[in-house]
Structure 1
Amino acid sequence: MTRFPPGLLQCMAAAVLFGASTPLAAPLAREMNAPTLAGLLYLGAALAVAPQNLRRLPPSSALRANGSRLAVAVVLGGAVGPVLLAAGLARTSAASASLLLNLELVFTVLLAGWFFREHIGPRVAAATVLVTSAGLLLSSWNTSPDIRLGAVLVIGACLCWALDNCATANVDRLAPSFITFIKGVIAGSANLAIGLSTGAGPTASDAILAVGIGMIGYGLSITLWVTGARSLGAARGQVVFSAAPFIGVLLAWTLLAEPVTAPQIVAMVLLLAGITLVVRSDHDHAHAHEPLEHIHEHAHDDHHADHEHAAGTPDRHSHPHRHEPLRHDHAHVPDLHHRHGH
């Protein structure tokens, strides 16, 4: 029986929801300016996760400890990135924009390996090459000036989100839904204010649709990705999440009646090969764990067998807990508990 790595299913679900958001938002990008659309999308994200976060706010110590990483997520991932994507969607087709989002994978893997010291093994490196090849194959054949400008904007959004991905995957004292909530409230409000002050407001129906897309494609999707990446690792989580652009292409074909091309079919094969490699990217060696205290969603597996709960506690739950020093040997990926060198 196949056993999926922890976090894989969450990252896959996030890919489906986020992938659908691009073709759904594309028509709106031509009806309102980029900051307005970006603001409504991320306010929708905040609305989706508001109930669970307003009931229980994190301690101020957790905010102080993760302030710089949270700032990266808010400014780049919540404010700048969405505006660049919205501007790109206004200048290119939904399929083209979706395909260019594959470049987020490249930036995330490079940043995770070079700056955040996340272990990048040969399978993940090969998967990165495959997925990058798929994106380049599909974006290089169209040389329209509008596509070029849209591509630059979407690539800029990918870089912003790559920094966001690495920062939030390494935040271990704030719940994923709270990170989404803060990004949505602060960045969404700021972008909406800028958009409304520089152009006409959207119609009520367009505004409601944008908020709805944000709730599903950004709110729920981002929460699922952050949760999954904490177990799977930022680089591996992003490789799986790279399915999102191709889901967007499928919807562009069906919902927006955009043409199907041979390069798109070939690229999908490359994508599936890349995801297969990342699913099999764990490695096995003896390693030591230093004392650690943090908060994240977990079950009582080998790394969480040293604390107890009252009867009736859900199998998966989140609370502050401490790990004592430990040395052992097992298959693992660079998650919150495995940041050691190689």
Structure 2
Amino acid sequence: MKNTSVIHALLAAALFGASTPFAKLLLGEVSPWLLAGLLYLGSGFGLVLARLLRDRGWKPSGLTTGEWPWLLGAIFFGGVLGPLALMFGLMHTSASTASLLLNLEAVLTAVIAWVVFKENADRRIVLGMLAIVAGGVMLAWPDGQGGATDWLGPLAIVGACLCWAIDNNLTRRVSASDALFIAGTKGAMAGVVNAGLALALGASLPAALVLVGTLSVGLLGYGISLVFFVLALRGLGTARTGAYFSIAPFIGTAVSLALLGESTSVAFWLAAALMGWGVWLHLTEHHEHEHIHEPMEHSHRHVHDAHHRHQHDFDWNGDEAHEHWHRHEALVHKHPHFPDTHHRHKH
């Protein structure tokens, strides 16, 4: 389960990281607000179509009444405010520096997970976060060495990171539900709001070729990336998924340097080394102790393992993953684990 979740997190990071320099290129053709809307429209409509094809028609979301506020809050912060702040920040910051600054999303995600949602924080994770913050400060310092000419661009990007950190923590509350539905709904709603407001304020649609390119970047970098991110949340928890996702800025930076030919400085590479060390600390964490599973009932896709030993009232071949409402009885055991759907206990 952990290895699969890690792969999901890394795929999410790769797709999102590569999208940042392409968004920077598109800013020359599309206004920031409209670009944010079109990126999410590409994500939302593409995933909604994929879900319709997968299920051969419309299928209920499976979300309970109490879960909808979490999803709507995630859409507002992550789908409306976050991308708008990023597009504004990219206008005042180089794409390579912006890509590395996006590491702060993992830091803010973890802080909210620890402080607000009481997720466990090991010393190794905290030290890694401090290294990432130090690199971010070095990049954002407005002396021209890190690529920022003033505070405006870096602060806007940090604001985007905060919005996505809130989004990540809210999305975790519904991560056991259909990932395609969550990501598709977020993209469609955020895209309609952002694009609608931009057009109402006078923005105009770009040429057809640019429009198709923008929607494609949105589908890959925002849509499919978010699907993998939601799947990773189930198995790793919020803070650790954010830690693995921290490789996204390095991928974005590599693409920026190759695609845009941007120059770098000693400060840039020192910041990259600090951030890389922080990510390495996250990736090499090991968490194991005796813990208690309280009785719980929920529905999600699963196989029968140490945490799923229930009986069925329907035919099942005993092997394939399946989804249904099931109950977990109280259980005490010890094994390496992360704060996934079944490990949200106190420490």
TM-score (norm 1): 0.91
Q: In structure 2, how many angstroms separate the alpha carbons of the residues matched to 1:6 and 1:331?
A: 15
Q: In structure 2, how many angstroms separate the alpha carbons of the residues matched to 1:161 and 1:138?
A: 20
Deviation at 1:304, TM superposition (A): 2.3
The corresponding residue for 1:191 is 194
Q: In structure 2, how many angstroms separate the alpha carbons of the residues matched to 1:247 and 1:263?
A: 19
The corresponding residue for 1:93 is 94
Equivalent pair of 1:108/1:238 in contact (CA under 8 Å): yes
CA deviation digits over 1:249-297, x for unaligned, max 9?
Answer: 1111100011133333333333333233223333222221122222334
Pairing 1:205–2:206 present: no
* Structural RMSD (CA): 2.3
Equivalent pair of 1:30/1:90 in contact (CA under 8 Å): no
In structure 2, which of residues 232, 249, 270 is the aligned counterpart of residue 228 of structure 1? Answer: 232
Q: Return 260-269 or 237-246, whichever deviates more.
A: 260-269
Pairing 1:79–2:84 present: no
Equivalent pair of 2:139/2:148 in contact (CA under 8 Å): no
Q: In structure 2, how many angstroms separate the alpha carbons of the residues matched to 1:96 and 1:146?
A: 11
Unaligned stretches of 5+ in structure 1? Answer: none
Equivalent pair of 2:142/2:150 in contact (CA under 8 Å): no
Instruction: Give the match's secondary structure for 1:64.
Output: coil
Equivalent pair of 2:140/2:151 in contact (CA under 8 Å): no
Equivalent pair of 1:243/1:271 in contact (CA under 8 Å): no
Pairing 1:182–2:188 present: no
Paired residue total? 338
The corresponding residue for 2:222 is 218
Instruction: Give the match's secondary structure for 1:134.
Output: helix
The corresponding residue for 2:136 is 135
Equivalent pair of 2:142/2:148 in contact (CA under 8 Å): no
Query: Which letter maps to 1:68?
Result: P
The corresponding residue for 2:69 is 68
Q: In structure 2, how many angstroms separate the alpha carbons of the residues matched to 1:63 and 1:189?
A: 24
Q: In structure 1, how many angstroms separate the alpha carbons of the residues matched to 2:27 and 2:193?
A: 18
Q: What does residue range 281-296 of structure 1 map to in structure 2 within 5 Å?
A: 281-296=285-300
Q: What does residue range 1-342 of structure 1 map to in structure 2 within 5 Å?
A: 5-54=3-52, 55=55, 56-59=58-61, 62-140=63-141, 142-143=143-144, 147-198=150-201, 199-307=203-311, 310-311=316-317, 314=320, 316-342=321-347
Q: In structure 2, how many angstroms separate the alpha carbons of the residues matched to 1:305 and 1:163?
A: 34
Q: In structure 1, how many angstroms separate the alpha carbons of the residues matched to 2:302 and 2:150?
A: 44
Describe the shift of the 1:297–1:257 C-alpha distance in structure 2 as closer, same or farther (beyond 3 A): farther
CA deviation digits over 1:64-97, x for unaligned, max 9?
Answer: 1201210111111111111111121222221122
Deviation at 1:136, TM superposition (A): 2.3
Instruction: Give the match's secondary structure for 1:32.
Output: coil
Task: Name the % identity.
Answer: 38
Q: Return 36-45 or 130-139, whichever deviates more.
A: 130-139
Equivalent pair of 1:297/1:317 in contact (CA under 8 Å): yes
Deviation at 1:227, TM superposition (A): 0.8
Instruction: Give the match's secondary structure for 1:120.
Output: coil
Unaligned stretches of 5+ in structure 2? Answer: none
Deviation at 1:340, TM superposition (A): 1.1
Describe the shift of the 1:311–1:164 C-alpha distance in structure 2 as closer, same or farther (beyond 3 A): same
Describe the shift of the 1:264–1:303 C-alpha distance in structure 2 as closer, same or farther (beyond 3 A): farther
| Structure 1 runs of 4+ with >6 Å offset | none
Describe the shift of the 1:146–1:268 C-alpha distance in structure 2 as closer, same or farther (beyond 3 A): closer
Deviation at 1:141, TM superposition (A): 5.5
CA deviation digits over 1:95-148, x for unaligned, max 9?
Answer: 122122121122111100000110111111111112222222333264588542
Q: Return 78-87 or 276-285, whichever deviates more.
A: 276-285
Q: Return 259-268 or 326-335, whichever deviates more.
A: 259-268
TM-score (norm 2): 0.90
Query: Which letter maps to 1:323?
Result: H
Describe the shift of the 1:333–1:190 C-alpha distance in structure 2 as closer, same or farther (beyond 3 A): same
